[in-house]
Amino acid sequence: MTEIIHSKKLFYKEWAYKIRLKMPTGYNQYIRKLLTYVKDSTVESKMKSLMKSIRYEGRQNGPYPFEFTDAQLDAMYDFIFYCRKENLRQNARINEYWRIITVYCNDKRYVKDICDKFDAIVESAEMPASDEELEIMQEKKNTTIVDRLPYNKYRYACSLDYWSSRDNICPSFAKWSKPYGKRIKISSRWGYGSGNFAFSKFWVEDEKLLNMIKLFLGTHITKVETYKLRAELEN
């Protein structure tokens, strides 16, 4: 049965849904290549050759190099032709890493189709918990929906540009932030030169303080991520 995971934000700031599949082969670059051929007959021939090779290696060497079932091989075969029929190479994003194929899409129909038809190779599907969450993710792409705030208290995370360390802005900000105590949390620091140090990220408890920090750091802040509690959206 497919594991359903509630996502926190859009994938790659674009895709609402993610389906993770585990193939009975590690030749996933080869599988992606199959989506580019013009003729289905060419794909069919190459898929049958691949499946024959997997079965042969399995008989000769035991698991190939891992266990697989005929149902998984059949699902892999059908999945390739489904991707071609639905033109997922254009209508979705497909990533591969060894045995793992990941499909990112914005059409929920693809999620249902893939999970229902290829259950033998589908591991998980990630999606927003509700239409409201999806709307927030699409409208505010630097917003992350969470069940628990970072360190149980921080509403914002700020990233600093790489060159901040050259301007000694990190030591200056660390000194400036001391009176605010735990309302600001600075990430791990690294030292350089004579007593200087830098860091790339910090968390802020509330918007009022965040606005003060923006005045102090200005363009040294490259990104502000906002965290919204899922429980607050449900109420």
Sorted by sequence, the CB contacts under 8 Å of residue 23 that are 6+ apart come out as 31, 72, 76, 99, 100, 101, 121
* pLDDT value for 71: 93
* Residue with tokens 């991520």, as numbered in its chain: 225
Q: Over 80: is that where the pLDDT of 228 sits?
A: yes
Question: Which pLDDT tens digit goes with each residue over 100-139?
Answer: 999 999 999 999 999 999 999 999 999 999 999 999 999 9
* pLDDT value for 194: 67
The β-bridge partners of 209 are: none
Least confident segment among 27-31, 107-111, 185-189 = 27-31
* pLDDT value for 165: 60
Question: Which pLDDT tens digit goes with each residue over 33-72?
Answer: 888 888 999 999 988 888 888 877 665 555 555 678 889 9
Kindly list the structural domains of the chain, giving each domain's residue range(s) and its CATH number in brackets, ordered by start. Answer: 3-129 (no CATH), 143-234 (3.30.70)
Counting residues of the chain whose pLDDT is more than 70, the rounded percentage is 91
* pLDDT value for 120: 95
